[in-house]
Chains A and B, each alone.
Chain A
Amino acid sequence: MPRPPPPPRASAAPAASESLTIGALVGAAQGDGATRALAERELVERFKAYVRRLLTRTLGPFVEIEDPMQEVFFRLFRALPKVRPPEALPGYVTSVTVNVAHETLRKRRRSRWLSFFAADELAEIAGSAADVSEEMRDFYLAAAKLSPEAHLSVTLRHIEGMSLDEMSAILGVSLATVKRRLTSAEQELAALLGCPQPPAPLRWKETAE
C-alpha cells in the first residue's frame, strides 16, 4: 500500500529573505544598547510564529508555551556568537526550539513524578481545554505517557513532518538511533491509541527517505 504523503511542513523556519538580512541582524544583536535591543526585537518578530508552531506541535495544545518561547529566544540570543555562518540561524532556531521542547517534556515528567500526578489526570486538563478535537486530545494524552524522547520523535516525525535525516541532525543522534527510537515510539503510541501497526522493517521500507 503506498504511503500517504507526509503532513505539510508549513512551519519551515523562515529564510533570510526579509529587507534586513539574517546575517545583519545577527551582527546587530551582538552589539550594544538600543541597536542590540532593536535587532533582538526584529529577530523575535521574524521567528516567533515558527517557534510557536514548532513548540505547539511538539508539546501539544495543553501546555502553556509562553515560558518555553521566552527560553528559546533567551538561549538563542546567548548563543548568537556561536552561529557560524550567521545565515545558519534558521536551522539553529529549530535546534534550540527542539531542545527546549525536550526539556519542557522532561520537566513535566519530573513534576508529575514528584507530585504523584497520574497521567490519567491529564484527561481532566485536556477536557477543560476548549476547541480541541477528540483526535488531538487522544493523541497528546497518549504521547504524554511516552518517554520525552519517544514523544519528541513521534511528534517531530508525524506532526511536524520532519524527515529522518532532519531529525538526526537536529537531535544530534545517528540515523539508526532515530529509526530505532521512532519504531519503538510508534509501536508504543499505536498500542496506546489502539491503532494497528505494521512490523518495523516493512514500515522502514515504506518510509525510506
Chain B
Amino acid sequence: MSDRRPFERLAQAVVAQHEQLLLRTPAPETATIVAGVSRCRRRRQQRNYAVGALFALIVAAAVGGLARRSAVPSPVVAAAPPSVGAAALGPIPPAAGSAPLGFPDGSRVLLAAGAVAEVRAIEPNGARVALRHGTLTAEVVHTSQTSWDILAGSFDIHVTGTRFDATYDEATGRLTVAMHEGQVRVAGPCLDEALGAPATKVFVCPTPTVATPTVATPTPDPAPQRPPPEGQGASMPCAVSGTCGQPIEEVAPAETVLAHADELRLAGNSLAARRSYRRVRERFPHTEAAAKAAFLLGRMAEDGGSLDDAAATYRAVAGERPSSPFVQSALGRTLELEHRRGRITEARALARKYLDAYPSGAHAAFASSLLKDAP
C-alpha cells in the first residue's frame, strides 16, 4: 500500500500555519478596500474611454482624412513654455514659482508667487501634487493612461488631460478651479463632479458638507446635497438624516464619522482625519468607536514621528475601553514604542503585561525576546 501521509501531513501543517498567520496579521481595513474598488472603477472607466476614443479614431480614419493626424497623438497643451526644473518628490521650492516644473509624462506645473505645494508621487503616466495654499497652473498632457491628481485640502482634482488653474485658500478651505481646456473631476467630502472648460467654479465644504458652485459669491447652498464620492459614502443622505448643511462629525452616527475619518486619513488629509477621530472620542466616549478612533490617532501620531503622543493615545485605549479588541494591538504597539525610545525597563514591564494577557498575541514573540535577557 502506498503511503500518502507525508503529502497530507505537509498540507495539514500548511493549513495550520495559515490560520496562525491570519490571526497574527491584521486584515486590510474595509475603508482601504472600498477606496481600492473606487480606484479600480476609475481606471476601468479611463480604459473604456481610451478604447472608445481609439475606436472612434479608427472609424474616423477609415472614413477618410484623419489617418495622418491620428498617427501622432497630440497633447492637449500646445506651445507650453519650456520646462526648467524636473519634478522631484517633496515640497516644490519657491524658486520654481517663476518657471514651470516638468514631469516625466510631459506635463507641467507652475506655481504662482506665494503658493505652497508638494509633489507626493510621480509615475510614468501621471503624478500627485498637493496644493497647500495659493495658485497652481497645471498643463497635463493627455494620453490614454493619464492619471493626475491635484490634492487641495480635502479636495481631489482628478485630471486626464487639460489646462487649468487651481487656487486653494487653506484658511477658508475654498478651492477655485478655472478651466482653460479639457475637463477635470473634483471630489471632496461633500461633492464629486465634473468641470469642463471654459468655466470657473468655487468649491467649499465647510467642515465637510456643502459645495458652492458659484463664481462670484460662494455662499453655502443648503438645499441639494450632492451624493458622496463614488465608493466613499462619507456623508449621510439629506433626505434620510435631515441634517443637510451640518458637519458630519456633529450629526452622523459614530460608524459614519469613523468611516469618513478613515477616508480622509487614506486620502492623506491627516489634519481633517485627526479632527474627525477626536470628535468621535468626544461625542461617543467609552464606546468601541472611541477606542478605534483613539487607536488610529495613535497610529497617525506614530507615523508622524510623535512617539510621546502615540504612546499616550495607545494607553488611553485601554484606560477608556478595557474590553476593546484594540487594547491588545495598542499594548503591543506601546511596548514597541518604548523599546524604540530606548526605555527598556518600561518596555520589559509592558512585555510581561502583554504576555500575561495575550500569550499567543501578535507581539508575543517580540515581548518574549525583550524578556529573554532581562535580569
A residues touching B (Cβ–Cβ < 8 Å)? 1, 3-4, 7-8, 10, 32-38, 40-41, 44-45, 48-49, 52-53, 56-57, 61, 66-67, 69-71, 73-74, 77, 131-133, 135-136, 138-140, 158-159, 161, 186, 190, 193, 195-199, 202-203, 206
Contact = CB atoms under 8 A, between A and B. Distances in A.
B237 A33 contact: yes
B200 interface: no
Interface in B1-60: 1-8, 10-15, 17-19, 21-22, 24, 27-28, 30, 32-34, 36-37, 39-41, 44
A44 B228 contact: no
Contact of B6 (A70, A195, A203): A195
B4 A1 contact: yes
B28 A159 contact: no
A36 B3 CA distance: 54
Contacts of A132: 17, 21
B80 to A, nearest CB: 34
A74 B30 contact: no
Contacts of B40: 70-71, 74
Interface of B: 1-8, 10-15, 17-19, 21-22, 24, 27-28, 30, 32-34, 36-37, 39-41, 44, 227-228, 230-233, 235-237, 240, 259, 365
B241 to A, nearest CB: 9
B233 A196 contact: no
* Central interface residue in B1, B2, B41, by most chain A CB within 10 Å: B2
Given A32-B227, A56-B22, A135-B17, A202 B2 contact: yes
A162 to B, nearest CB: 12
B227 A48 contact: no
A8 B36 contact: no
11 contacts: A4-B5, A33-B228, A34-B236, A36-B233, A37-B231, A69-B36, A73-B33, A74-B44, A133-B17, A193-B10, A196-B3
5 tightest Cβ-Cβ pairs between the two chains A and B? A37-B233, A70-B36, A198-B2, A33-B227, A74-B40
A161 B15 contact: yes
Contact of B10 (A35, A69, A135, A202): A135
Contacts of B3: 1, 196, 198
Contacts of A33: 227-228, 237
B33 A69 contact: yes
A85 to B, nearest CB: 24
Contacts of A52: 22, 27-28
Contacts of B5: 1, 4
* Central interface residue in A34, A161, A186, A197, by most chain B CB within 10 Å: A34
Given A34-B233, A35-B237, A199-B2, A8 B7 contact: no
Given A197-B2, A197-B4, A8 B15 contact: yes
Given A69-B28, A135-B13, A135-B14, A196 B2 contact: yes
Contact of A37 (B10, B12, B15, B232): B232
A139 B14 CA distance: 8
Contacts of B232: 37
